[in-house]
Amino acid sequence: MHAALCFVPPLGTTLACLGLMALTLSLGANFSCAAEKAAETKPPSKPAETPEAGTNWKSLFDGKTLTGWRSSDFSGRGEVTVKDGQIRLGEGYMTGITWTNVADLPRMDYEISLEAMRVEGSDFFCGLTFPVGKDPCSFIVGGWGGGVVGLSSLDGQDASQNETTKYMNFENGKWFKVRLKVTKGKIEAWIDADKMVDVTTEGKSLSIRLEVEPSKPLGIATWNTAAALRNIRLRRL
């Protein structure tokens, strides 16, 4: 049998290949170290801004008393108490709180933020009445049987009948973040991260239902429902 033939490269070629491999490994190591160093020196990324981010928020609830608020003068209202950092609205025909420091209340270019929870019942647990210039309006959360969201009223139409009407499921015992923004010619509102209202107000008439009059100019009410409120804040824009 013939012996197998083997090709042995010249010594110079072998050394050149080994040198190229060593250079490649060295460059790779240097690149890796440089990348690690850049990652160490790179400033941490800034958290994404949330809809509620910003300064100048003023708390409207001290977590202990009703200072600045009064029980709204609704007929057949439930009891209003403060416990465990919450304002609790007992179930009644209508129950609510009305802000009393009206001299310092902005009428335009402001935001209101709060957390609300339906404790018992199946209707609106946050009827937020607010000023828009000289006119009042209400943002209804969970009305008309428990799921309607919208402004009441636009051009005389309730939250269940106008262009802002939306539907959402609200589980009893769960907190929801509510935020309202009033600027010239526009009203916007969010529940948690979902934008529920984005409406231009120019050329539209704004009003409230007659039953909600005791909430003016700023108030939060319920309908045949027990609710809890906390973290009520306001800021000027």
Tens of pLDDT, residues 185-235: 999 999 999 999 999 999 999 999 999 999 999 999 999 999 999 999 999
Tens of pLDDT, residues 53-85: 567 999 999 999 999 999 999 999 999 999 999
Residue 95 has pLDDT above 90, yes or no: yes
- Identify the CATH number of the domain defined by range 58-236: 2.60.120.560
* Residue 98: partners with Cβ closer than 8 Å, 6 or more residues away: 69, 70, 71, 72, 73, 214, 215, 216, 218, 219
Residue 171 has pLDDT above 80, yes or no: yes
Domain ranges of the chain: 58-236
Model-level pTM greater than 0.75? Answer: yes
C-alpha of 198 from chain center: 14
